[in-house]
Amino acid sequence: MSAARMLRPEHPAWALVPLFYSAMHLMHAQFDRDYLPEGPRHPSGHVHRRTDGQIVSWGTTDVVREHYQPVVSRAYSSLFQAGYSTRYSSPLKGDGQRLWDDYEVVRGFVLGSGK
């Protein structure tokens, strides 16, 4: 999280990458806390892999969408997409405040609003 804060003033798009990974680790901690089944509890990537229509490898975005409130899922997915776009296609335009707000949704869900 401190890397995201450090990057934010001069590189707001690149700040989203560590911001997303912070949200990912928060959600992984929540998976453990909620004692999800082994497959979803320890996803091996960001999105699932299927073979013959069956999930063979859960992705974090899928676990969040499947097991948590839509508001948390939307915020997490938004952060994932922003981080992905920054790394591989078109960086964010503007200051990204909406994405920092999305991070606070995830953080507040996992850690509680007062932390």
Q: Given this model, what pLDDT does residue 115 score?
A: 46
Quote the longest CA-to-CA distance of the chain.
Answer: 46
Number of domains present in the structure of the chain: 1
- pTM of the predicted protein model: 0.89
Q: What pLDDT does 113 receive? A: 64
Domain that holds residue 30: 2-111
Count CB neighbours of 75 within 10 A: 25
Q: If DSSP codes are grouped into helix, strand and coil, which group holds residue 114?
A: coil
Identify the pLDDT of residue 24: 96
CA 79/CA 33 separation, integer angstroms:
22
pLDDT (tens place) for every residue of the chain, 115 residues total = 899 999 999 999 999 999 999 999 999 999 999 999 988 888 888 887 778 877 778 899 999 999 999 999 999 999 999 999 989 987 777 788 999 999 999 999 999 964 4
> What integer pLDDT is reported at residue 92 of this predicted model?
76
| Per-residue model confidence (pLDDT) at position 2 | 93
Closest to 92 measured CA to CA, from 33, 22, 25, 7: 7
3-state secondary structure 26-57: HHHHHHHHCCCCHHHHCCCECCCEEECCEEEE
Provide the pLDDT for residue 82: 93
